[in-house]
Amino acid sequence: MYKLPAALALRKVSDDDQAFLDALYASRREDLRQMPMDAAFIAQMVKMQQHVQMEGVRMNYPDAGHWLIEDAGQPAGRVIIDTGSNDVRLLDIAIIPAAQRKGVAKAILLAMQADAQSQGKGVSLAVEQTNFAARGLYLQLGFIACSADALFEQMYWRADATAESETLIDILPASTLANIITKHGQFDATA
């Protein structure tokens, strides 16, 4: 799969991982945990949102790989990657709070980039506008913003897209360009 530092490994998610995945998802939903509701209602809301997210992935990316990230043999996160198009699509990456900002996500992304480069592909993703840490990491690794809406920014990386003078039309595959055309039929490379 991907060449990772010695302590890190990816393995397919199994049914035995569900309790970890539930806790991981809940750790990402501070927005829901801060609602002025009772804890049982909030837990139910978090579970429902997790289900909606996973159903959306299954429906839109049926062949995506769901991988558990292990650090020194312990679960540290999860990554969902779709490789079925002209580019590699990072659908989701989540790292447990105890392993955040320790290079785990960066190592996964660097390995994805190296693998994509070896196949002549780029890497695309969407990041929440308010996820400044993730957005900063993506920018640090050479991703560029393609478009944005009120919630998400679409980003793209390609190894040969380093010259500042290149435009998105020069570096993006046609299928990716088609995906970032706005609802009004206009290409938005400045958002």
Burial of 59-93, coded b for 16+ CB within 10 Å and e otherwise, reads eebeebbbbbbbbeeebbbbbbbbbeeebbbbbbb
- pLDDT tens figures, 90-134: 999 999 999 988 999 999 999 999 999 999 999 999 999 888 999
The predicted structure's pLDDT at residue 135: 93
Q: Which residue has the tokens 């569900």?
A: 18
Calpha distance 83→85 (Å, rounded): 6
28-71 pLDDT, tens digit per residue, is 767 666 767 777 877 777 777 778 888 888 999 999 999 999 99
Instruction: Return the pLDDT at 183.
Output: 39
pLDDT at 29: 66
pLDDT for residue 191 is more than 50: no
Average pLDDT over residues 160-189: 50
Q: Is residue 78 classed as helix, strand or coil in its secondary structure?
A: strand
pLDDT over 80 at 166, yes or no? no
- Tokens 């945990």: give the residue: 33
pLDDT (0 to 100) of residue 152: 92
Percent of the chain with pLDDT over 90: 49
| Per-chain mean pLDDT for the chain | 82
Q: Distance between CA atoms of 147 and 65, rounded to whole angstroms?
A: 25
Beta partners for residue 153, in sequence order: 127, 148
Angle CA(89)–CA(185)–CA(174) in degrees, nearest 5?
A: 40
